[in-house]
Chains A and B, each alone.
Chain A
Amino acid sequence: MKYTPANAESFLAQAEEAGWKAPALEQLRTRGLPTPKLERWKYTNLAGFAQSGAKPATKVALNANPVALPWMLQTSRKFLFVNGHMVLGDARLKVVPDNLESSALDRFGDEMLWALNTALMSDGPNINILEDGAVFEIIHVGQGGDAPLLASPRTAIRVATNTSATVIEQFLAVGDAPVHTNHATEINLKPGAKLNHIRIQMEASERTVLNTLHARVARDASYNAHFLNLGASLSRQEYWVELEDNNSSCAIKGAQLMHGRQHMDTTVHVDHKAPHCASNQTIRNVLAGEAVGVFQGKIHVDRVAQKTDGYQLCNTLMLSERATMNTKPELEIYADDVKCSHGTTTGKLDETPLFYMRARGIPEAEARRMMLLAFIGDLYDGLPEFVGTPIAKHVEGWLNHV
């Protein structure tokens, strides 16, 4: 693997100025930011981001009424971050800068964004969930200033033994000027813990949103992620999930809806490290305009991980001839008694059902909308209404525009 440290220079200088978090700095210096020369970064190019000249964002007040933000619940515990700095929330639950390192990512050679986050990180929620049924809500606002900024929030979520919790994250924009985000998330689920993690990304165009998430899932625990990607000109989210002990499971389900010249990348890596674990990746992409979509999904099954149940399905609907979808499903299996399946489909909207619906009097636009909704289908079924309803609204809103 070849890296080009040069491309991280502008960030390095800034991190040096900050004067701490030395190991991350060192990592960044030797490795730089990922480039398409790296296999895992073949389809997503961070050159624009690396050359954006973005400066680490300092703390500013929100140019809007925080109450008017689209909070989903009255009673949830709320955090508001503006450009990566906590503006609202329990100050005791702040990430302490150097207590979080994710060595696991080294293994995969994708730790550069993590290192960049560590080098520049500002703030973030550090949530230790002990109470069953707790709901936390986090809104990250990217608020444009005069010059390009880089927000580097860090999130840590721990869920205690036999405890269920929900964490909702939204990424929103205030103003149009570029604020890029490089967010790192560390999740730790104790035995029997269950986390529903919902993420909605609605950043403004001309912005880059990078999300690197690393989840460790203990015995009988389950990590359930739902995402909806709508915004940003370039986004990449990585889910690295380690199923560490017997009977743990994860599900990563979501849709990427893109148009114009948007580029959206979801990269998932599930590591089955113990027997009797289950994983599910269900991804739907809808591409209009000249959008570029990426899905890379890997199921890695260790030698000891017998009785693994691994599932991966990525369906893509192309609404335009000029859009491009790149999919890379991968199975890497070292155990012999496993059940793993993966599949991808990419196609246009089927004209035959469209005609059928129109022949029943349903206007073409409405018929298309119904078919697109049907394509998104059951992805978000089973989510509690307070997130399900807003998600459905966002999806419909998007569909009404393409």
Chain B
Amino acid sequence: MLQIKNLHATIDEKEILKGIDLTLEAGKVHAVMGPNGSGKSTLSYVLSGREDYAVTDGEVLLDGKNILAMSPEERAAAGVFLAFQYPIEIPGVQTTTFLKTAVNAVRKARGEPELDPVSFLKKLKSNAEKLGVRDEMLKRPLNVGFSGGEKKRMEILQMAMLEPRVLILDETDSGLDIDALKIVAEGVNALRAPDRTFLVITHYQRLLDYIVPDVVHVLSAGKIVKTGGAELAKQLEETGYAGYIAA
């Protein structure tokens, strides 16, 4: 569904991604693990179109179409969604307003009718409830003053509302307490569908106990250095990355 081919990317002229080849298959969950600073977040930003990064080589095909020339909003409309490792605070923009603007922008770009206020609120309420996002939070400016865990839930709420096809989760588990981890994982699992693909970045096996991956990749120094099944994550938990650090 999403093919990443020989992807090279730099920031401030420093090469971070050094030729990534990765295929995300429809209906499957792909975990990416790897040491701090290996380029996991960089990969997720490059996929979602952050302009600080320069792609120096390679391509990213979504259903065979190169998305690298597309703006972030066009990619979002095409179905790419990144749940940020560090969600951004947007002072002065009420969470509900933000969500409504985003949902309708994406629907419009996809050629779907905008949601009327009542249907939107209904959908928001039911998703928020499932993820344990309180009403009061929806009235506050987006992410402002939210706790680390609350921000992560808000990312998944946005994900559920926008109905993306390529779901990238960058360390969504960090900052979540044990109960919240379960709730969020259930939220993510509920989104699993034959026409969706997941890229789950994490450091910990625990998340993968709930969101069971079909494939596990190890990213080190900007390259995929190992690929295996769900058992690879368990093995890494014991051995660490010592054997996989790329030269």
Contacts and interface: CB of A to CB of B under 8 A. Distances in A.
Contacts of B72: 355, 358-359
A364 B105 contact: no
A31 to B, nearest CB: 44
Interface stretch (B5-13, B61-69, B89-97, B238-246): B89-97
Given A364-B71, A366-B105, A370-B101, A359 B90 contact: no
Given A361-B105, A361-B162, A374 B73 contact: no
A252 B154 CA distance: 37
A373 B82 CA distance: 25
Given A374-B91, A375-B92, A359 B48 contact: yes
Interface in B205-246: none
A100 interface: no
Contacts of B71: 358, 364
Interface residues of B, number: 31
Contacts of B48: 359
A373 B92 contact: yes
Interface of A is mostly: helix
A178 to B, nearest CB: 37
Nearest to A377: B92
A362 B102 contact: yes
Contacts of B162: 360-361
A66 interface: no
B105 A359 contact: no
Interface in A352-384: 352-353, 355-364, 366, 370-371, 373-375, 377-378
Contacts of A363: 73, 105
Interface in B39-74: 48-52, 71-73
Given A355-B50, A366-B101, A361 B88 contact: no
B7 to A, nearest CB: 18
Interface string A328-357: 000000000000000000000001110111
B105 A362 contact: yes
B90 A361 contact: no
B102 A361 contact: yes
Nearest to A372: B92
B204 interface: no
Interface string A118-132: 000000000000000
A364 to B, nearest CB: 7
A361 B50 contact: no
B120 interface: no
A357 B91 CA distance: 12
Interface string B93-122: 100001001110110010000000000000
B77 interface: yes
A361 B106 contact: yes
B158 interface: yes
A358 B84 CA distance: 13
B230 to A, nearest CB: 29
A313 to B, nearest CB: 14
Nearest to B143: A356
B170 to A, nearest CB: 12
B76 interface: yes
A369 to B, nearest CB: 10
From A352, A356, A359, A375, residue with most partner B Cβ within 10 Å: A359
A351 B52 CA distance: 10
Contacts of B101: 362, 366, 370
Contacts of B49: 358-359
Contacts of B87: 356
B51 A359 contact: no
Nearest to B76: A361
A377 B141 CA distance: 11
B101 to A, nearest CB: 6
B158 A356 contact: no
B50 A360 contact: no
Contact of A374 (B90, B103, B105): B90
A354 B31 CA distance: 28
A177 B81 CA distance: 53
Contacts of B158: 360
A356 B77 contact: no
From A360, A363, A373, residue with most partner B Cβ within 10 Å: A360
Contacts of B84: 356
A352 B73 contact: no
Contact of A361 (B51, B91, B109): B109
A377 B92 CA distance: 6
B102 A360 contact: yes
Nearest to B109: A361
B93 A370 contact: yes
From B71, B82, B92, residue with most partner A Cβ within 10 Å: B92
Nearest to B88: A356
Contacts of A366: 101, 105
Contacts of B98: 357, 360, 370
Given A359-B82, A360-B102, A374 B92 contact: yes
B213 to A, nearest CB: 24
A354 to B, nearest CB: 9
Interface in B158-189: 158, 162
23 contacts: A352-B88, A353-B90, A356-B84, A356-B87, A356-B88, A358-B49, A359-B49, A359-B50, A359-B81, A360-B76, A361-B73, A361-B109, A362-B73, A362-B102, A363-B73, A363-B105, A364-B73, A366-B101, A366-B105, A374-B90, A374-B91, A374-B93, A377-B91
The 10 A-B pairs at the shortest CB distance, nearest first, are namely: A374-B92, A361-B76, A361-B106, A358-B72, A360-B102, A356-B88, A361-B105, A358-B73, A359-B72, A377-B92
Given A355-B50, A357-B90, A378-B92, 5 more contacts: A358-B49, A358-B72, A363-B73, A364-B71, A371-B93
